[in-house]
């Protein structure tokens, strides 16, 4: 039997859409999580989830869009607590770009951590150049029971800090990049029951497909790179990440 995969984080609403769903199925992707980053993309993610039984949606406000909080939260919050929403986020800090001011990123992040805790939903975190701030807010607000560091980019130290807080680490195509040795070490030490795999498509296309648009079907290539980092077979990665994703997102599949 061919391996069955889960893409724990993708953005179907940004590129590919229906065609990418079809190709993912053909590649052995059992289900995928379409992630919202503001009101428009969250609404679009929910539309994909309504259309396809193997697509689930999150609702959130990305740190790039944190400045939209006052304008969009009144409409985002009902979507976030609805049964149609699988998880809250992606949310957090991005201090590499700072497209929204740091204080506004923190305010938006705190709102979403509180919603996840109140609603009992998983939290999907984006953290770039912001480990201390991310952990500080999580410690202040209380780490949701099911918290996922999407596109984890840290090394062993950051991995230990996240794992000590009970979080899942989701690895993207970056794990296949030549200059990602510290990330591969983090992947190697992550317990088998805490590792996830994702594409973050249409971003971060994995090797050997660099230069092409990314899509959920390429989670197979990400999984192969993760397997090499951990010294196991891709079939093992497919199985453990599929089981972990169902647990992390609270699904019975």
Q: What is the pLDDT of residues 146-184, one digit of tens each?
A: 999 999 999 999 999 999 999 999 999 999 999 999 999
Q: What is the pLDDT of residues 22-73, one digit of tens each?
A: 999 999 999 999 999 999 999 999 999 999 999 999 999 999 999 999 999 9
Closest CA to 165 of 113, 238, 222, 223: 113
Q: Helix 18-27 crosses helix 219-230 at what angle (to 10 degrees)?
A: 40
2: pLDDT confidence band, cut at 50, 70 and 90? Answer: confident
Q: Which residues pair with 192 in a beta bridge?
A: none
Is 253 a residue whose pLDDT tops 70? no
String of DSSP letters for 167-218? -EEEE-GGGGSTT-HHHHHHHHHS-GGGEEE---TTS-PPTT-TTS---GGG
Residue ranges and CATH numbers for the domains of the chain are 5-211+238-248 (3.20.20.140)
10 Å CB burial of residue 86 (0-12, 13-18, 19+) is buried
d(CA 248, CA 218): 21
d(CA 138, CA 109): 9
The pLDDT of residue 118 is 97
**Would you state the structure tokens that stand for residue 8, as one six-digit string?**
């724990």
- pTM reported for the whole predicted model: 0.96
pLDDT higher at 113 or 96: 113
**Would you state the structure tokens that stand for residue 176, as one six-digit string?**
């296949």
């Amino acid at each position: 039997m061919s391996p069955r995969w889960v893409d724990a984080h993708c953005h179907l609403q940004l590129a590919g859409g229906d065609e990418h769903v079809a190709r993912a199925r053909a590649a052995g992707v059992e289900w995928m999580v379409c992630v919202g980053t503001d009101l428009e993309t969250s609404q679009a993610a929910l539309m994909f989830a309504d259309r396809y039984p193997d697509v689930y949606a999150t609702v959130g406000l990305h740190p790039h869009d944190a400045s939209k909080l006052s304008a969009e939260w009144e409409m985002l919050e009902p979507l976030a607590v609805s049964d149609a929403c699988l998880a809250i986020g992606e949310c957090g800090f991005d201090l590499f770009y700072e497209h929204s001011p740091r204080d506004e990123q923190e305010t938006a992040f705190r709102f979403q951590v509180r919603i996840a805790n109140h609603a009992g939903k998983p939290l999907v975190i984006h953290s770039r150049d912001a480990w201390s701030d991310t952990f500080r807010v999580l410690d202040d607000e209380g780490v949701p029971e099911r918290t996922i560091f999407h596109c984890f980019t840290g090394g062993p130290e950051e991995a230990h800090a996240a794992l000590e807080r009970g979080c899942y680490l989701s690895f993207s195509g970056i794990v296949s990049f030549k200059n990602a040795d510290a990330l591969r070490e983090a992947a190697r030490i992550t317990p088998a029951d805490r590792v996830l795999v994702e594409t973050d498509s249409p971003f971060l296309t994995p090797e050997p497909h660099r230069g092409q648009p990314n899509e959920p079907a390429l989670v197979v290539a990400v999984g192969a790179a993760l397997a090499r980092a951990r010294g196991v077979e891709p079939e093992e990665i497919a199985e453990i990440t599929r089981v972990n994703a169902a647990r992390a997102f609270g699904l019975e599949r």
